[in-house]
Structure 1
Amino acid sequence: MSAAAPQPSAPQPFDFRDPAFLADPYPVFRHLRATAPVFKAPLGRWFLTRYEDTATLLRDKRFGRGYHDPEAMVRRFGPTAMAEPAVVELTHMMLMRDPPDHTRLRGLVTKAFTARRIEALRDSIQQLTDRLVDKVAERGGMDAIRDLAFPLPVLVICELLGIPEADRQRFVTGSSSGGALLNPTPPTRAELDRANAGSIESSAYFEALFEQRRRDPRDDLITQLVQAEEAGDRLTTAELRANVSLLFAAGHETTVNLIGNGFHSLLRHPQQWRILRDDPTLVANAIEEVLRFESPVQAVGRTASEPVELGGVALARNDIVVALVGGVNRDPAMFDDPERFDITRKDLRPLSFGGGIHFCLGAQLARIEAAVVFETILRRLPDLRLTDPDNPKWRPSFVLRGLTELPVAWTG
């Protein structure tokens, strides 16, 4: 069946910066799916809320990232796009590139993310998790974000990249970036300024670290990439800087949200927590249901490289198409009773890690980290509960959905 005809002149039904929308975007997604599942908003972007359309978008080679085109960058980020350090850095990231550049850049880091190498990290992830839980076990309570969900993925990606131990605390006590440049609407001047400041600061740190690794190579991913840059034909200096920043941010941002959203969803549904506590073999399936129900990444975008039909709607060349993943993962055509959180749900295939050539490189690592955390808490703090269940503190970011804090308690 063809999609309902979009209404370009209709007012945009949601505001990506509205705290009420950020707290609960799902009614908006349901409305869009029912009335205009391929919807053109006033700013010209198209939005998808159906699973089938999104699966096509992620795998069809006629849809790319389009970050090589200065005009496309102006449409995304405004007239000063190519003068903004953070935007320029984005253009060099493999996540934003199309083949052949994407193929070349991803190939450089794939060796560090092999299934065997990631699985080998499980023991160190368990040790880190135990140390973090040891620090709070006798307190009877903690902020599950600050004390566990945030520091663990940061420490893990620091280890994988090769960030010196002496520098790691600065990252552990930091905060998530918020990902304003990833939102489906052009950033404000204030958001650009914050992103530029973060980009400049992180570039300065990594430039100094690259110089250290040139003088003193180690068995880590940063050394591997520095050596590729020095070879001169595989990685430019700008690409080196941008992609290490990408790996660091992507290596912890989504995992922080996966763990935090997981605790929030499980503890807001106590029966589900009890089911998991009684049968920890369901942890892997519970993680997939968390990914579906509260996706850490709420949107992915592509640009049409030629005229193409999607969901019964004709798209023009250079049209920007954004899949609203949080809504897509609740499509009743794919998932029965999709608004219900159910860790025993069968045949779970959420699109939270994307698809096609841009499928998340760190998906396996994120799943292992989340599994170790949930298994450890189920074993050590089985009566975990929310202390303020009615007032979740959602981050002021749409694309990267997560909590700024999550107070929990247990019987000491």
Structure 2
Amino acid sequence: MIATGFDLNDPAVIADPYPHYAWLREQAPVYHSTAPDLWILSRYDDVATAVRDASRFSSDLGTAAEFTDNPFSPGMRLPRRLAGIVDRVVPVRTLLTSDPPDHTRLRKKVSRAFTPRRITLWEARINEIADDLVDDLVLASKRGESVDLVRDLASPLPTAVIAEMMGIPAHRHPQFKRWSDNLVDGLLTDGSTPRMLAAAVGIAGFFARVVRDRRRNPGDDLISLLVTPDADGDALSLVELIQFCVLLLVAGNETTTNLVSNAVLALLDRPDLWHAIVADPELAGAAVEEAVRYDSPGQGLLRIARSDTVLNGITIPAGARVLPLIGSANRDPRHWDDPDEFRLDRSRNDHLAYGIGIHFCLGSALARIEAKAALRALAARTPHLAHAEPLARIPSPVLRGLRSLPIHIGADDSSRRP
């Protein structure tokens, strides 16, 4: 039974939000939460409208000083002085937090780095990285060491990929991951403000040096491409380049890590589906697409109402913070057949996990390739994979994933690639 009302930061909601989303969709599809002050949307059509319609719902969330009132981590408060430092070091007007015309210009400049052709060229290397990580994972198990799906595969895979794409040397990858983890940590209910601030300063300074170096000595990496002016002779500023590099590292790493871990957990909870992928690795693509719908790595996106807006007969006032729940929209029975079932034969894939409209995720193709590579490598090498207890979830109402997923590998699973 779901109690009357909805508390975004309730541990029960964070542990399993989907019954609570069902209550919202049926009883209060436009729900006003007073603590934090948010208007929460839960039905597919309303969520799609808020995410897509930039004329009514703005993505411009203001300055980093607004972290003094972070709705997703009520225990984390940045003093104004520190918020000002973060605002100068890592300004927040990014692709995710801007509207046209700023967004249009930024997206035009960076989208050339994420064309389907360019991303496809990385597929073979991504498969190699996934295979190497699974090699290490299997060998560790055979040595009797504990194996964790998040620590040993889901987390290092996207870090290694994006670092290589940026031309960052391998010895810096662990530092990359620490920065990324500490920045995301600031969004969690038990987040650390000092670690987040130190990571923001460290990563911004690092990328500033890299960008300056690539301007003097360009190569064939992603950052070198981004520092090159486009056909119109326009180039991103140093601040814009730093912003985008940070966004790639943090948003790309966290969401892909969560996608891989959520997909593996869903499959291991359904051994028949896992065995189907072992028998036919081409099903990995369908599994990834269903996983991102079924248990979306990003459960919600923040928007600001530009004017008084009526949805489902309820008026959302101008200036209000609005939270379209992606995770709820992707389980709405008004839009999906058997929405609470994990199915590999689902014929439609118009989920909202990667957004919609002008904010559709530039990195979606890369995330899909990485997640498929992880599933295929595991299916080929660890057909008797099973998860162990206890697993640990990320303590966040908007980031849906796992901090830890211990796994068992069958004693007869191969220590060598096929």
TM-score (norm 1): 0.87
> 1:359, CA displacement in angstroms?
0.8
**Could you say if the C-alpha distance between residues 368 and 130 of structure 1 is closer, same or farther in structure 2, counting changes exceeding 3 Å?**
same
2:288 aligned with 1:290: no
Secondary structure (helix, strand or coil) at the match of 2:147 reads strand
User: Contact 1:130–1:376 at 8 Å: present in 2 too?
Assistant: yes
AA at the equivalent of 1:306: S
User: Contact 2:64–2:83 at 8 Å: present in 1 too?
Assistant: no
2:22 aligned with 1:30: yes
User: Contact 1:178–1:397 at 8 Å: present in 2 too?
Assistant: no
AA at the equivalent of 1:359: F
Partner of 1:170: 175
TM-score (norm 2): 0.86
Distance (Å, rounded) in 1 between the aligned partners of 2:311 and 2:195: 36
2:40 aligned with 1:47: yes
User: Contact 2:305–2:322 at 8 Å: present in 1 too?
Assistant: yes
AA at the equivalent of 2:329: V
Farther-moved stretch of structure 1 (40-49 vs 338-347): 338-347
AA at the equivalent of 1:381: T
Farther-moved stretch of structure 1 (140-149 vs 126-135): 140-149
2:80 aligned with 1:80: yes
* 1:347-367 Cα deviation digits (max 9, x unpaired): 132211111111111000000
Partner of 2:12: 20
Partner of 2:409: 410
**Could you say if the C-alpha distance between residues 222 and 304 of structure 1 is closer, same or farther in structure 2, counting changes exceeding 3 Å?**
same
Farther-moved stretch of structure 1 (339-348 vs 281-290): 339-348
> 1:210, CA displacement in angstroms?
2.2
Secondary structure (helix, strand or coil) at the match of 2:301 reads strand
* 1:120-176 Cα deviation digits (max 9, x unpaired): 111001111111112222324621111111111111111122222332243357763
User: Contact 1:129–1:372 at 8 Å: present in 2 too?
Assistant: yes
> 1:51, CA displacement in angstroms?
0.6
AA at the equivalent of 2:164: E
User: Contact 1:298–1:401 at 8 Å: present in 2 too?
Assistant: yes
Give the number of equivalent residue pairs. Answer: 395
Partner of 1:337: 338
> 1:76, CA displacement in angstroms?
5.6
* Superposed CA RMSD: 2.9
Secondary structure (helix, strand or coil) at the match of 1:127 reads helix
> 1:192, CA displacement in angstroms?
4.2
> 1:245, CA displacement in angstroms?
0.7
User: Contact 2:150–2:261 at 8 Å: present in 1 too?
Assistant: yes
Secondary structure (helix, strand or coil) at the match of 2:37 reads coil
Partner of 2:248: 247
Partner of 1:7: none
Give 5+ residue unaligned stretches, structure 2. Answer: 72-76, 412-418
Distance (Å, rounded) in 2 between the aligned partners of 1:182 and 1:87: 16
> 1:234, CA displacement in angstroms?
4.0
Secondary structure (helix, strand or coil) at the match of 2:277 reads helix
Secondary structure (helix, strand or coil) at the match of 2:152 reads helix
> 1:316, CA displacement in angstroms?
2.1
Farther-moved stretch of structure 1 (57-66 vs 34-43): 57-66
User: Contact 1:145–1:406 at 8 Å: present in 2 too?
Assistant: yes
Distance (Å, rounded) in 2 between the aligned partners of 1:54 and 1:177: 29
Partner of 1:109: 110
Farther-moved stretch of structure 1 (262-271 vs 300-309): 300-309
Give 5+ residue unaligned stretches, structure 1. Answer: 1-9
Partner of 1:148: 153
Partner of 2:60: 66
Farther-moved stretch of structure 1 (111-120 vs 63-72): 63-72
Secondary structure (helix, strand or coil) at the match of 1:142 reads coil
Partner of 2:272: 271
Partner of 2:74: none
**Could you say if the C-alpha distance between residues 170 and 75 of structure 1 is closer, same or farther in structure 2, counting changes exceeding 3 Å?**
closer
The 5-angstrom pairing of residues 343-362 of structure 1 reads 343-362=344-363
User: Contact 1:84–1:192 at 8 Å: present in 2 too?
Assistant: no
**Could you say if the C-alpha distance between residues 69 and 216 of structure 1 is closer, same or farther in structure 2, counting changes exceeding 3 Å?**
closer
AA at the equivalent of 2:23: H
> 1:256, CA displacement in angstroms?
0.7
AA at the equivalent of 1:195: M
**Could you say if the C-alpha distance between residues 252 and 73 of structure 1 is closer, same or farther in structure 2, counting changes exceeding 3 Å?**
closer
